[in-house]
Amino acid sequence: MKIAVIGAGYVGLVSGACLADFGHEVCCIDRDPRRIENLRAGRMPIYEPGLAELTAANVSAGRLFFEQDLATGIRDAEVIFIAVGTPSRPEDGHADLTFVYDVTREIAAHLKGYAVIVTKSTVPVGTSDEVERIVRSLRPEIEFSVASNPEFLREGAAIGDFKIPDRIVVGVEDDRARAVMAAVYRPLFLNQAPMLFTDRRSSELTKYAANAFLATKITFINEMADICEKTGANVQDVARGMGLDKRIGPKFLHAGPGFGGSCFPKDVRALIKTGQDFDVPSRIVEAVADVNERRKRRMGRRIIAACGGDIRDRVIAVLGLTFKPRTDDMREAPSIAIIQTLHDAGARVHAFDPAGMEQAREVLGDVTYFRDPYQAVAGADAVAIVTEWESLRALDLKKMHGLMRRSILVDLRNIYVPEQAVAAGFTYLSVGRGD
């Protein structure tokens, strides 16, 4: 099949490369000429394991193309995915659909024959209806369908998530679009990936409901961690005991400094807004957003308390800055609020991250960066682990202890065994383990 993907960002590129790998002919379109030039030269604009290799293989097989001009890119395409950003509107937290509707108008202007226009971007309920209305009003003579097909990719594991999905959700309103979308995903169908066809509104809401539920799960276990700390229980045992119940499941029950990233915080805010717009406020989701925001700064205050309450001119080393491992993404990372809190209290911050330091420079204030975790902790009064990168899981604690001025270790991801940290000479604090 001939497929166009508009928006060569995270979702667009991963989807484009994977669809090409299924054997489709895919053109990824982006209005940014530098991005297209870089992609044509094999340079990826994002950090995602395996993406550069998958892209290169499909480009050389003649199945994957990059194009700046939308009219050229969508020519003869049977399916046109819209995968542009839907950022939070600063004024009210709702998803900003400017890019989606701009692209819709452009598609309408250049559509030549029947195509299925698919919203892949995370869009609020009713957006696909509006896309249909816009195209119909601009091109009443053209036959087309609009489908909703949300993505469930995790950064750092996106290719696996695309190729071996738990499910594919497709919202359609007509049989022709349904048949086309089934053909797009036929290779996965053969792998028995469940494909769920719904109406468009249910498909759009499924994406928000899934993300908000996962965010709730995390927030819930974080609250249990707080209770564990006060009562002397161990949140990891509690999470395991809960997770073995098949109705609950073990995933997304890792207590930590709160969720961040480009999706959960934004989608939670947008769902809250949808609830308010339709006069059905979602009290649970509102609480999740509020509790999570407060938690990030509270983690900063925890580090301060671990240092005795006064950290003026103290050096605090922060290891791990990105919102999670295997990405360079700093969007809404807990490290931002934590470091802000440390700065406000007068500390100097030393930092190390395996991939995110370039991005971190753009969002963090006055931080000194080091290329190695041991250099970052040298001379520090305390060290905080904020992201559970593999390379931070096996640090030589004795060596670290020897390099530091004072030896306080605040492990916000529970990646060390308390007894071992104590044996290495640290005053050790983690999350929900009563230490």
Nearer to ligand UGA, 271 or 408 (CB): 271
Nearer to ligand UGA, 24 or 207 (CB): 207
Q: Which residue has the tokens 């990105």?
A: 322
Minimum CB separation of residue 357 from ligand UGA in Å reads 18
Minimum CB separation of residue 112 from ligand UGA in Å reads 32
Q: Is 93 within any annotated ligand binding site?
A: no
Q: Which of 27, 28, 263, 307 is catalytic?
A: 263
Q: Is 207 within any annotated ligand binding site?
A: yes
E strand or H helix at 317 = strand 315-319
Q: In whole angstroms, what is the distance from residue 74 CA to residue 238 CA?
A: 52
The amino acid present at 353, given as its one-letter code, is: D
Minimum CB separation of residue 94 from ligand UGA in Å reads 16
Q: In whole angstroms, what is the distance from residue 343 CA to residue 314 CA?
A: 10
Minimum CB separation of residue 157 from ligand UGA in Å reads 8
Q: Is 51 within any annotated ligand binding site?
A: no
Q: In whole angstroms, what is the distance from residue 412 CA to residue 343 CA?
A: 18
Instruction: Give yes or no for a contact between 145 and 174, defined as CB atoms under 8 angstroms apart.
Output: yes
Site of interaction with ligand UGA (CB under 6 A)? 122, 151-155, 211, 214, 218, 252-254, 256, 259-261, 263-264, 267, 323-324
Nearest of 303, 286, 408, 299 to residue 347 by alpha carbon: 303
Nearer to ligand UGA, 21 or 329 (CB): 329
Other beta carbons less than 10 A from residue 104's beta carbon: 26
Q: Which residues contact 363 (CB under 8 A, 6 or more apart)?
A: 330, 336
Instruction: Give yes or no for a contact between 385 and 377, defined as CB atoms under 8 angstroms apart.
Output: no
Strand partners, 3: 26, 79
The amino acid present at 188, given as its one-letter code, is: L
The conformational region for residue 107 under phi > 0 = left, psi -120 to 50 = alpha, else beta, is alpha
Sequence length of the chain is 435
Q: Is 73 within any annotated ligand binding site?
A: no
Q: Is 30 within any annotated ligand binding site?
A: yes
Nearer to ligand UGA, 197 or 252 (CB): 252
Nearer to ligand UGA, 94 or 254 (CB): 254
Nearest of 309, 402, 387, 310 to residue 353 by alpha carbon: 387
3-state secondary structure of 99: helix
Nearer to ligand UGA, 269 or 314 (CB): 269
Q: Is 293 within any annotated ligand binding site?
A: no
Q: Is 144 within any annotated ligand binding site?
A: no
Is residue 263 annotated as a catalytic residue, yes or no?
yes
Minimum CB separation of residue 165 from ligand UGA in Å reads 10
Minimum CB separation of residue 221 from ligand UGA in Å reads 7
Nearest of 212, 395, 364, 231 to residue 300 by alpha carbon: 364
Residues labelled catalytic? 263
Q: Which residues are annotated as a binding site for NAD(+)?
A: 30, 35, 86, 122, 155, 266, 331
Indicate the annotated binding residues. Answer: 30, 35, 86, 122, 152-155, 207, 252-256, 260, 266, 324, 331
List binding-site positions for substrate: 152-155, 207, 252-256, 260, 324
